[in-house]
Amino acid sequence: MTETTRAYTATHQSWQRFHEFAAPLISSSGAGSAAAAASNQQHHPYARQYSHVYSARLAGLRARCLENAKAKLSENGVDLKDVDVVDHIIGVKDGKLCILVGTIVKELDPKRRPNVAAEYNDRDTCSFLFPEGMLVDNSKLEGAQESLRSYLFDSKKGDVLHLEDESGRVELAAAGAGEDGMDVDNSDALDANKVCTGVVAAVIGEVSADKGIMHVKSIHFAGVPASDDKSGDEKRESVVDGEAKDDPMILLVSGLACGTDSPSDNQTGGSLALRREMLLEYLTSSKLGNGAGVSRVIVAGGGIAPKPAVSPESNKENSTASGTNGSKSKKVKHETTPMALSLRELDLYFAEILSAGIPVDYIPGWHDPTNANWPQRPIHSCLLPNSCSFVDLFQRSTNPYESVVGGERVLGSDGLNVTDLRRYLTDGDNSNESGDAKAVSTIEALKQTLKYGHIAPTGPDSLPMFPSSESDPFVLSKRPSVYFSGNSEKFETALVASNGADAADEDAKNNTRLVCVPSFALTGEVVLVNMNTLSCEVISFNDVGL
């Protein structure tokens, strides 16, 4: 019998930098607990205001935005001496071409503002991420389109766009092309439906003396950060005994949805459990494709089944029954049992992969038993006891996730940050007619976060997030080689150059591979990424007709 030789790639986990900004740990009771509680209260994240988040974000991205704005002016032949670089919005002068750096704030008309009570409702926030009744052709739901229409910006309906910093704010409006000898590039023109509240940007324009509105000629974001140089140790990791190793491969998968079947299985007669077993066989067998070349599996959220949707009628019936019979404990048991079964199935599934010597990194998601606010803490070890027994192979990471695999930086999340951003961004030219609005694709939204220089620009406005004052952990300070988003409706990918545009040369250095990892429950697909060439391919598992 031939023994399977597993691929190996040196990995340095760097997701711990998100950990210090996650939910505070509960202090133990007993002696000294009062002092510990007082200390925790002093350093508790909610002792700070959310305004500190935006201040830290602005401080982290201001210099990069300003540099890109100046580069644009020089490209257009404008003498920088004739342009005011205003440090604070309160100091802007009327009728003078200037550069302002601040945070975008979109104010919707109060009559059109979505209901705050339903802001974090599963059917709203997760309509793109966990669609119910998804058709085989991946068509979008009307509920998702409703969410987009709720946030569509329209100045004719009373919506206002502002740029804000610590000193104040100024209203923004797009300027006409060719004013004052400066042409407006379509890619740099201000479009309120191409940005969201929380994005840091530098705007070039003039403030009118009559209305105090800044007419923006172009808008510039932080862009793709510089790449970090690989150390000699990281480079030497790819060579053993003077011979180059095989190209390191990582496998990206999301939406395993253990404990349930796929929504499409009722129509096709397939079985999600069987497809998961096919994936397991692919990874552990040396005879199936290049599964033996996988050096690491990264699970991007969606490991357990989402909570089944409950209709309002069922909710009312359950409440009535609970009030009549006084059996509150039965209701709790009914809700927790499916999650416990899902966790057990996920734990055993991971244990089988780990027993084959394959490292697994697990990123928690929206439905996992951890804190909801970003960054999410790793799932507790007691919930995955079998997997956690593989101390050297199993990593419970935060959400977002970051590591250095084979000398290349890998960054990603379960996809909720990208999903939330899609509610604010429209695709193509829009006539501000809500019926014609169409959300940008997942890959375009992911590309926008790279352009903004921020992983989660919608937080804390609509993405739940912990307040941080010292720094913003979601600022992109180093260029990732692989940047992924989990639980997507379909597989999408793009190669982005260091300037943020699509890469013309696939072999050039400083490229970033963007990957929208499809939900395995919906598509039966996983993604293989070659860490040397940054090429990727989709592996599909289909059990229909077997």
Find the helix or strand (DSSP H, E) in which 520 lies: helix 520-523
* All residues at 6 or more sequence positions from 543 whose CB lies less than 8 Å from its CB, including other chains: 270, 271, 274, 275, 278, 524
pLDDT mean over 469-493: 92
Find the helix or strand (DSSP H, E) in which 218 lies: strand 213-220
Question: Quick check: 404 pLDDT over 90?
Answer: yes
The pLDDT, as a whole number, for residue 323 is 52
User: When comparing pLDDT for 471 and 335, which is higher?
Assistant: 471
Q: pLDDT confidence of 51, banded at 50, 70, 90?
A: confident
Q: pLDDT confidence of 70, banded at 50, 70, 90?
A: very high
Q: Which CATH number fits domain 51-220: 2.60.40.10, 2.40.50.430, 1.10.1370.30, 3.40.50.1370?
A: 2.40.50.430
pLDDT mean over 302-306: 86
Question: Quick check: 460 pLDDT over 50?
Answer: yes
pTM of the model: 0.86
The pLDDT, as a whole number, for residue 25 is 54
Q: Which CATH number fits domain 226-308+336-540: 3.30.565.10, 3.20.20.70, 3.60.21.50, 2.40.50.320?
A: 3.60.21.50
The long-range contacts involving 242-248, CB below 8 angstroms and separated by at least 24 positions, are 245/8, 245/9, 246/7, 246/293, 247/293, 247/530, 247/531, 247/532, 247/533, 248/7, 248/9, 248/295, 248/405, 248/406, 248/530, 248/531, 248/532
pLDDT digits (tens, 9 = 90+) for 226-253: 876 554 344 434 433 444 456 789 999 9
Q: Please compute Rg for the chain using Cα positions.
A: 25
Main-chain phi, psi angles of 186, to 5 degrees: -60, -35
Q: pLDDT confidence of 123, banded at 50, 70, 90?
A: very low
* All residues at 6 or more sequence positions from 227 whose CB lies less than 8 Å from its CB, including other chains: 478, 479, 481, 498, 509, 510
The pLDDT, as a whole number, for residue 396 is 95
Question: What is the distance between the alpha carbons of residues 242 and 170, in angstroms, rounded to a whole number?
Answer: 61
Taking phi over 0 as left and psi of -120 to 50 as alpha, with beta for the rest, 453 belongs to left
Mean pLDDT computed over every residue of the chain: 79
Question: What is the distance between the alpha carbons of residues 512 and 409, in angstroms, rounded to a whole number?
Answer: 10
pLDDT digits (tens, 9 = 90+) for 374-398: 999 999 999 999 999 999 999 999 9
| 3-class DSSP assignment, residue 417 | helix
Intrachain domains 51-220 and 226-308+336-540 with the same fold: no
The whole-angstrom distance between residue 85's C-alpha and the CA centroid of its chain comes to 32
Of 179-188, 235-244, 341-350, the least confident: 235-244
User: When comparing pLDDT for 108 and 322, which is higher?
Assistant: 108
The pLDDT, as a whole number, for residue 52 is 86
Domain ranges within the chain, ordered by starting residue: 51-220, 226-308+336-540
Question: Quick check: 259 pLDDT over 60?
Answer: yes
Hey, how many other C-beta atoms are within 10 angstroms of the C-beta on 261? Answer: 14
User: When comparing pLDDT for 452 and 320, which is higher?
Assistant: 452
pLDDT digits (tens, 9 = 90+) for 431-451: 444 456 788 899 999 999 999
Question: What is the distance between the alpha carbons of residues 522 and 138, in angstroms, rounded to a whole number?
Answer: 9
